[in-house]
Structure 1
Amino acid sequence: MTETYRRPTARIHIESRECGPEVLERLTGATYFPERLLGPAIVTTVCRAGGHLLYVTAPSVIDGEEQVDYYLGLLLGGARTADRESLRRMRELVTVLPLDDATTRWLSTKVLDPVSPRAAAVRSDLHEFAELHRSAGADVRLSYFEPSKPLEELARALNLPGTQPLSAHIPLGTKHTGRQIFAAAGIPVPSGSGVCHDPGALASAVAGLAATGVRELVLKLDSTAFGGGLGNALLTLEDGIDAPGGESVEERVARALPGAVLMDPKLTWHEYVTLMKDDGVIAEEMVTQVPLLSPSFQGRLTERGTVEAVSTHDQVLAGDGQTYHGCTFPAAADYRRQLIDHGLRVGEVLRERGVGSGDYGVDFLATRSGDGWRLLGCEINLRATATKHPFTMAVGLLGVEPTPDGRLEVDGVEYVYEASDVIMERRYQGLRPAQLIEAVTGSPIGYDPVRKTGVVLHLMSPVTEFGKFGALCIARDRAQAASLMRELRDLIDLLTPQS
């Protein structure tokens, strides 16, 4: 039989985080965000598909050659022990194209800068890469993290399809519209308000919720620009706020509002009110049941008009319960099928509302209900999410796709993982990615392609300036994954003097 022809692959990655630059300034190490999918792109496009990769970053990847060799060597048993010729051939398929620009502007804006000679040179390289591989019959695409008009402009200029929904659909990812989509999908949500554009309207809305017994609330900027919960504020009302007295409930709430705890510590209440005028704020009951989990669903709308489940995770949040730090895969079996069902239903509503193709994510709250679990809709992201890079890396390393019930299984053996984007200590500042790589690959916890378990590093450049990096720990059960994460921290601690 004749082997089925497989079209060659070529990918351009511009993994720009397109939220407000002022927000990026507040996220530790966020200028290095475009680097987050470098490892997964190398493993999936180059190591697995034998394709060509052009990856754009700004600022430059620290210890870039060492990082590329590390990712190329993951399926070869490590860059130090891999066959030199195999590594050399694969290295020729990877181009990391840096702009030496460490500002908090979007990467897409840096690439499209009309006055920067370096940006002009990068654009020329992008056109050359796209035309070269398109003329060779390759499937060439522009991969990016979230939709934006600049990236769509670039995709049109390169005559390439993009990988995310159109930016015209971004409003579907706002908090209030998300609640409407959940309702259309038949998914319950916490009690909440409409959009309020001034403190008076917000006080009235909160007073209405207080009349139903709500005392703990989350105030959410109705904007897609604030990722990671940074647009939220936590408000606790006194038990007697609706008691009879000289003041109205609205007046009491109005006095309480400036005391809300802002998740972005660099924002003041005055600044929050200014943002409220433009973006609006919704008030939502804070679910405080114990246990309370934060599962998430990742889906994809395809060019064929279908909705596909990609992955499920349980999110690991900071102590404030609002900010994403990492995740475990897959989501708990107790509610995973329900999670997949709810996520697909949201995707169908998005498709009905005109979203053509691309990634989307749905966050939920999981609470106990009798002998089972109840899922409440929390947030919809019309883009890729922070769980994409560990999942893409795990799938690339294991060489499998998820089962219908959302597991990763190789030859009858199930694999799980724990991932973190926030392994951070002040004493790690000054370390270099090459040191992290040497420590992990020279230890028993480094990823082993034979056992298909171990630690994989990512987002390493921020460690030098900020003492921050990320890691994926693939294992055969959750306890082993958690143990690998602890051992990694212990290993890196040995590289630094104890304070």
Structure 2
Amino acid sequence: MPSPLFAPQQRSTLNISIQSRECSTLLLENLPGSTLFPERPVGASIISALIEPNGTVICVTAPKMEDAEAQIAYYTDLAATAAGSDDAAAREALRGRVTVLSLDDSSPRWLSEKLLDPDRPDARAAQEHIAKATAAARASGAAVRLSYFEPSANLERLARELGVPGNQAAARHIPLGTKAAGRRLFEEEGIKVPAGTGECFDIDRLVHGMCDLMARGHRRFVLKLSSTAYGAGLGNALLDLTDLPGNAPAQGAHLASVVRERLAGSQVLDASLGWEGFQAAIPQAGVLAEEHLAGDELRSPSYQGRISDGTVVTVSTHEQVLGPNGQTYTGSAFPAFDGYRDVLIAHGRRVGAALMRLGVNQGDFGVDFVAVRREAAWDVYGIELNLRATGTLHAFNAVTGLLGTTPADDGILRTADGSPRAYLASDSITAPAYRGLRPSDLIDLVRRSPLHWDQEQGLGVVLHMLSALPGHGKFGAVCVGADQAHATDLMSRLRTLVDDWAERHNA
């Protein structure tokens, strides 16, 4: 049953959303559109807040949101439809419950640094607005929530100043999210991991560890910068040494010399970093090498969980959609394959329980896996622990908000009448021909098409990250279907729709 737009008997809620991605500033500077990552969850945040009785929301973004009013109206209209109200007065009332504070700062700094910058008038004005709104909400008896993407010392400071608790793990736990720490935790919990080295802070130790792995028969490697500053696979490099002799002694000086020389030819996935930049990061970030897993079929599933009120809550499972290099995250497909979904859930809950024993008492976390099929059997390996929200969460929140439901214990998402739903989400629908197109025009294009979200059916397309369109030729979308084949078809039709539009626009 749709949520009522207003329910005076229920407590009001002010949701403050500051989705700062606190990763390497080199990544934010060089990955096209990545400075706009904080905008990805805006639509989901608006929908989630407005379907709550008496829910209001303040979203902070930077750089400046393109066609902001058109975007806000788009998400407000989706929320109004989900709440069962399409009349103009109700939509106007909903619009009054949304504030987007959009800072005109396109630098690669973290959003938290932009917001807390004492030298920028727009940042000071945004802080004052948040403080006044928080005080007013408290005075009226409303609950105030501060939501952010990952543990952040900056946003913890803001939370203390506002007197509002944050919703992620404490910043002191950030080291638990490194590649090396995740690998150790997996091993301690009995979760398979690829053969690998320990964490190394210089090339000599890395070469020594790789020579040990080669003595055990491994020749293809993934090198990983361990720090939490590198995400989406962009802190990884690939190295293939299968041409080296199979009987080479592990500790031989000649082999070590060859491996050291060959490291410079590693395929660093962040091309802007290159081997020199990758190597220069090792003393501070740490690095480890793992075998590059092989089998008859490889998939990259993930588990999303949350620690809340002393319990581990399973949020979702996904198949990660990776770029051509097989390492870089571009999107996700929900749910994960049923052939190993129960294993992901069991492993994810075990990881969450271990984090609680280590003192983590709240917050999102995710576990990335590689599933390897060898003949008819699947092996699941733990690859990475993310002590934060993941790139899957904004699409999940938008879909579950619109459908008014969450996955059952078996990980399946169903509508009120029991019909299953699957979706395909992408943050990287991109083409050079899209550059110069406007978010407002794309919204209108999809709205007029059969692909637009159909609330009655619980099917269709929802757009996000639209401000990357004019400058980068890039946007995101989540396509909800009756099954994964249907969702994939919707994504294909969306690309065709936008390709045809771009061709007409550029003619």
Query: Which residue matches 2:333?
Result: 328
> Contact 1:218 / 1:284 at 8 angstroms: preserved in 2?
yes
Structure 2 residue 356 is matched with structure 1 residue 387? no
Query: Which residue matches 1:450?
Result: 456
Question: Aligned match of 1:209 in 209, 213, 223?
Answer: 213
Query: Offset of 1:49 from its aligned partner?
Result: 3.7
SS at 2:501's partner residue? Answer: coil
Query: Which residue matches 1:145?
Result: 149
* 1:81-131 Cα shifts (integer Å, max 9, x gaps): 942111101000001111111111111111111222221111111101111
Aligned counterparts of 1:92 and 1:76: Cα–Cα separation in 2: 13
Query: Which residue matches 2:354?
Result: 349
Query: Offset of 1:46 from its aligned partner?
Result: 1.1
TM-score, L = length of structure 1: 0.96
Aligned counterparts of 1:243 and 1:333: Cα–Cα separation in 2: 41
> Contact 2:10 / 2:53 at 8 angstroms: preserved in 1?
no
Query: Offset of 1:448 from its aligned partner?
Result: 0.6
> Contact 2:461 / 2:478 at 8 angstroms: preserved in 1?
yes
Query: Offset of 1:77 from its aligned partner?
Result: 5.1
Aligned counterparts of 2:122 and 2:426: Cα–Cα separation in 1: 33
AA in 2 matched with 1:353:
L
Aligned counterparts of 2:126 and 2:8: Cα–Cα separation in 1: 36
Aligned counterparts of 1:244 and 1:57: Cα–Cα separation in 2: 54
Aligned counterparts of 1:371 and 1:496: Cα–Cα separation in 2: 44
Query: Offset of 1:47 from its aligned partner?
Result: 3.0
Aligned counterparts of 2:67 and 2:287: Cα–Cα separation in 1: 43
AA in 1 matched with 2:304:
Q
> Contact 2:294 / 2:372 at 8 angstroms: preserved in 1?
no
Query: Which residue matches 2:364?
Result: 359
AA in 1 matched with 2:390:
T
Q: Decide whether aligned partners of structure 1 residues 354 and 490 sit closer, same or farther in structure 2, where only a CA change above 3 A counts.
A: same
Aligned counterparts of 1:272 and 1:401: Cα–Cα separation in 2: 40
Figure out how many residues of one structure are paired with residues of the other and give that number: 495
* 1:407-432 Cα shifts (integer Å, max 9, x gaps): 11121111110100000000100001
User: What fraction of aligned residue pairs are identical, expressed as a percent?
Assistant: 46
Structure 2 residue 289 is matched with structure 1 residue 283? yes
TM alignment of 1:46-445, pairs within 5 A:
46-76=50-80, 82-241=86-245, 243=247, 248-302=254-308, 304-369=309-374, 371-410=376-415, 411-445=417-451
SS at 1:25's partner residue? Answer: helix
AA in 1 matched with 2:272:
K
Query: Which residue matches 2:3?
Result: none
Runs (5+) with no aligned partner, structure 2: 1-6
Aligned counterparts of 1:49 and 1:362: Cα–Cα separation in 2: 33
Query: Offset of 1:242 from its aligned partner?
Result: 5.0
* 1:199-258 Cα shifts (integer Å, max 9, x gaps): 222111111100111011001011100111111110111333454699622122112111
* 1:437-461 Cα shifts (integer Å, max 9, x gaps): 0000000111010111001100001
SS at 2:477's partner residue? Answer: strand
RMSD across aligned positions (CA): 1.9
Query: Offset of 1:48 from its aligned partner?
Result: 3.9
> Contact 1:77 / 1:448 at 8 angstroms: preserved in 2?
no
Query: Offset of 1:5 from its aligned partner?
Result: 5.3
AA in 1 matched with 2:218:
V
* 1:315-372 Cα shifts (integer Å, max 9, x gaps): 0000101100111101111111111000000001111111110000000011125643
Structure 2 residue 501 is matched with structure 1 residue 479? no
Q: Decide whether aligned partners of structure 1 residues 83 and 299 sit closer, same or farther in structure 2, where only a CA change above 3 A counts.
A: same
TM-score, L = length of structure 2: 0.94
Q: Decide whether aligned partners of structure 1 residues 77 and 351 sit closer, same or farther in structure 2, where only a CA change above 3 A counts.
A: closer
> Contact 2:296 / 2:374 at 8 angstroms: preserved in 1?
no
Query: Offset of 1:69 from its aligned partner?
Result: 0.8
Aligned counterparts of 2:452 and 2:153: Cα–Cα separation in 1: 40
Aligned counterparts of 1:375 and 1:462: Cα–Cα separation in 2: 35
SS at 1:62's partner residue? Answer: coil
Aligned counterparts of 1:284 and 1:454: Cα–Cα separation in 2: 40
Aligned counterparts of 1:244 and 1:214: Cα–Cα separation in 2: 11
Aligned counterparts of 1:269 and 1:51: Cα–Cα separation in 2: 49
AA in 1 matched with 2:456:
V
Aligned counterparts of 1:412 and 1:270: Cα–Cα separation in 2: 54
> Contact 2:76 / 2:95 at 8 angstroms: preserved in 1?
yes
Aligned counterparts of 1:182 and 1:395: Cα–Cα separation in 2: 30
Runs (5+) with no aligned partner, structure 1: none
